[in-house]
Each structure stands twice: as structure tokens, then as C-alpha cells.
């Protein structure tokens, strides 16, 4: 949205300047003193012009000339025009101060480090994004690939120095739909897509604990719509319950079984977002999570930041690759003095009685 502001600001400033100039000019004209002899205006208006004589047109009747002259002389009072002019000037100055405040508070501060104030007015710095990116940089392989929504692609690539599946260059909508399917489908399908994308980690943004309203659940409706254009199984109406988008006990089964829900609310029933709130209470949606004791089969929680804003999950290996090959077959090189060359010897480990067969 900052890019749109930069591109549209010059044109909008010119258009608004023209509109305000015409508006002020209209009210300034109302302050002119009317003619002291209105009869002269009526006489002048009743006299036909040269063009009308040439065109052989008859002059207007006296009744019409009087109404026309009256409408032309109808003006606002001097006090009313002053009120309008001062109101416009006041709104212009107020808007200038408002834009200055917005630029200083919203657009000039980095979006990675957040700030909040408690009831007493004390300022708190929320550093979860930088904390998560630093963890990715220090605790993952250099060739690790991260799945997240495209909003955080440039931040992950710049601060974590890790590859992302999609970034803020959103020209490839098919690729974005694949990432959206990771969050909007069930675990088996999501795991299959992650393996297809060769992803190692999945990152989501959750604000139910800290009150951060710009999390992925609030964006989920748009993720579903983008995904539905390429995945016919994903339908927007299946995520609604009685026409509402819910995450509590009244949520739909499709919503509760989606990976977006599981990634965000995994182990959340163990956390309390406030003294007066119960476990699993989402302060952004103002409701308690609907499905508790969430179990993950193909994903493992790797890291959760201090305020639960950033949650990172690792993609497990395939089940048939959990047992390393080296644990079943032990390769040894033994030297035979008679044959004078090394002989490759394999031994098979029998897990039932721990006997070795040569």
C-alpha cells in the first residue's frame, strides 16, 4: 500500500488542489457587495443583445426577466460565506497535521519491530519478527526453504538469508495458490504440497495471544479466495459457519481441520492471554479456540517467539525415511593377507534377536 501512496500522491494532490481552489473561489465571489440599484440590472437583462437582434429573436417577457435577475442576485450572506471559508481552511490545516502524524507513527517506523501501550500508557516494544528471523538465520541450514504467505517473503530473505517459496513479487499467482493450499487444506494434502515444493519450514503469524490484528487468520479469507481459483476442492463457503467466519466451537469442520487453524492454535490451550482470560482465549477474535489438543503428524513445532506472534514448524521427513539406512546395513572393509586386497563385508542386523548374519 505504501507503493500505491507514492504513485498516486502527485495526481491526487493536483486534483484536490483544483477542487479546493474552485470551492474557495465560489465562496469568495459570494462576499462581493450587490449592486445598489437592482433596477439597472433588470433593465440591462431585459435589453436584447446584438446577437439576439441579428437572429430576430423577441425579448423575454418582463416576468421572466425579473425571475432571472433575482436568481442571479441570489447570494449567501457575508457571515455564511466566512464560516464556509474558515471551515475549509481549518480542515486543510487539520489534514496536514493528521498526515504528519501518520507519516511519523505508521509509515516511518519499521514494520518488523512493533510498539504497543498498556493501560497505564507504558510503551512496550514487540520484537517477535526480528527474533524469529534471527532464529532462522542461526538454527537452519543455509539451503533451507521457508513456506509463508507472500507478505513476509522479502523480510525472511533479507534478514534470515534463507530462500522463500513466494515473496512480495506476486506475479506468479499459481505459485501463490500452491502456498495458499498449504494453509487451507488438511494435513495430508498440505504435507504433500510442502514436499512438492521441497520446503523445510512453514511460518505463520498469530496474534491471538498478543492482540496483533494483522495476523494470518485475519488474512485467511483472501488466502482461500486465491487458492480456490486453482484448487477446486477449496471452497470459500465451506470455511463459514452459518454465514460467519469463526474460530470458536461453532466453526465449520473445514476451518477446524485446515492447517492454518492447526498451525496457529497448536498448544494454544496451554497459554493465557490475560489474567481474566481463560486458556486458549483469542484476544483478536474475542473467543476461545474451538478445537483443542491438536495433534500434528507430518509437522513439528520448531520455534515460537516470546509473544506467540511468529510460529515456525519444520516439515518432517517421509515415514519410510525415518530409519537411516546405515543403521540396518553396516559396511566394513577387511584385509585378507592371502588374497592381498580388501574385501567388502556386509552384515545385516536382525532387530528381533540382535543376531548378526554375515
User: Is residue 74 over pLDDT 80?
Assistant: no
Nearest to 265 by CA among 313, 233, 198: 313
Confidence of residue 5 (pLDDT cuts 50, 70, 90): confident
Q: What are the domain boundaries of the chain?
A: 2-107, 123-320, 325-357
Maximum Cα–Cα distance across the chain: 138
Confidence of residue 319 (pLDDT cuts 50, 70, 90): confident
**pLDDT tens for residues 35-67?**
444 555 554 555 555 555 555 455 555 555 555
Confidence of residue 171 (pLDDT cuts 50, 70, 90): confident
pLDDT of residue 131: 95
Average pLDDT on 242-257 reads 91
- Give me the CATH code for the 123-320 domain, please: 3.40.50.12610
pLDDT of residue 34: 46
Cell of residue 46, nine digits? 431585459
pLDDT of residue 30: 74
User: Is residue 269 over pLDDT 70?
Assistant: yes
| Cα–Cα distance, 68 to 85 (Å, whole number) | 27
pLDDT of residue 61: 56
Confidence of residue 354 (pLDDT cuts 50, 70, 90): very low
The lowest-confidence range among 22-36, 62-76, 94-108, 288-302 is: 62-76
pLDDT of residue 46: 53
- Cα torsion 203, 200, 159, 177: sign: negative
Q: CB under 8 Å to 231, separation ≥6 — which residues?
A: 177, 181, 184, 185
DSSP conformation class of 109: S
User: Is residue 350 over pLDDT 90?
Assistant: no
**pLDDT tens for residues 188-247?**
999 999 999 999 999 999 999 988 888 999 999 999 999 999 998 999 999 998 888 999
More confident residue, 316 or 347: 316
More confident residue, 347 or 200: 200
User: Is residue 343 over pLDDT 70?
Assistant: no
More confident residue, 38 or 106: 106
Nearest to 291 by CA among 212, 211, 187, 191: 187
What's the distance, CA 161 to chain centroid? Answer: 22
Average pLDDT taken over every residue of the chain: 80
Average pLDDT on 310-325 reads 77
User: Is residue 110 over pLDDT 80?
Assistant: no
59 burial type by CB count under 10 A (0-12 exposed, 13-18 middle, 19+ buried): middle
Amino acid at each position: 500500500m505504501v507503493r500505491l501512496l507514492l504513485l498516486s500522491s502527485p495526481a491526487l494532490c493536483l486534483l484536490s488542489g483544483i477542487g479546493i481552489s474552485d470551492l474557495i473561489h465560489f465562496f469568495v465571489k459570494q462576499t462581493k457587495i450587490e449592486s445598489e440599484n437592482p433596477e439597472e440590472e433588470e433593465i440591462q437583462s431585459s435589453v436584447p443583445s446584438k446577437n439576439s437582434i441579428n437572429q430576430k429573436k423577441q425579448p423575454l417577457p418582463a416576468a421572466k426577466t425579473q425571475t432571472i435577475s433575482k436568481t442571479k442576485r441570489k447570494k449567501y450572506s457575508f457571515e455564511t460565506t466566512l464560516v464556509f471559508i474558515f471551515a475549509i481552511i481549518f480542515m486543510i490545516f487539520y489534514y496536514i497535521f493528521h498526515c504528519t502524524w501518520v507519516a511519523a507513527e505508521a509509515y516511518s517506523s519499521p514494520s518488523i519491530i512493533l510498539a504497543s501501550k498498556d493501560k497505564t500508557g507504558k510503551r512496550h516494544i514487540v520484537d517477535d519478527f526480528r527474533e524469529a528471523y534471527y532464529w532462522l538465520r542461526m538454527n537452519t541450514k543455509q539451503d533451507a526453504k521457508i513456506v509463508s504467505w507472500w507478505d513476509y517473503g522479502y523480510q525472511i530473505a533479507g534478514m534470515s538469508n534463507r530462500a522463500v517459496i513466494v515473496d512480495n513479487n506476486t506475479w506468479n499467482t499459481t505459485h501463490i495458490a500452491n502456498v495458499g493450499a498449504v494453509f487451507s487444506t488438511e494435513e495430508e494434502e498440505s504435507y504433500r504440497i510442502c514436499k512438492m515444493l521441497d520446503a523445510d519450514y512453514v511460518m505463520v503469524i498469530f496474534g491471538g495471544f498478543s492482540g496483533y490484528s494483522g495476523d494470518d487468520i485475519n488474512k485467511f479469507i483472501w488466502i482461500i479466495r486465491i487458492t480456490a481459483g486453482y484448487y477446486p476442492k477449496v471452497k470459500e463457503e465451506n470455511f463459514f459457519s452459518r454465514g460467519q467466519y469463526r474460530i470458536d466451537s461453532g466453526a465449520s469442520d473445514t476451518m477446524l481441520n485446515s492447517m492454518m487453524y492447526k498451525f496457529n492454535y497448536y498448544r494454544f490451550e496451554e497459554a493465557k492471554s490475560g489474567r481474566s482470560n481463560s486458556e486458549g482465549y483469542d484476544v483478536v477474535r474475542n473467543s476461545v479456540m474451538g478445537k483443542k489438543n491438536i495433534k500434528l503428524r507430518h509437522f513439528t513445532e520448531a520455534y515460537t517467539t516470546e509473544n506467540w506472534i511468529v510460529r515456525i514448524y519444520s516439515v518432517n521427513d517421509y515415514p519410510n525415511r525415518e530409519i537411516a539406512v546405515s543403521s540396518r546395513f553396516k559396511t566394513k572393509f577387511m584385509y585378507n593377507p592371502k588374497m592381498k586386497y580388501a574385501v567388502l563385508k556386509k552384515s545385516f542386523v536382525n532387530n528381533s534377536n540382535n543376531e548378526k548374519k554375515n
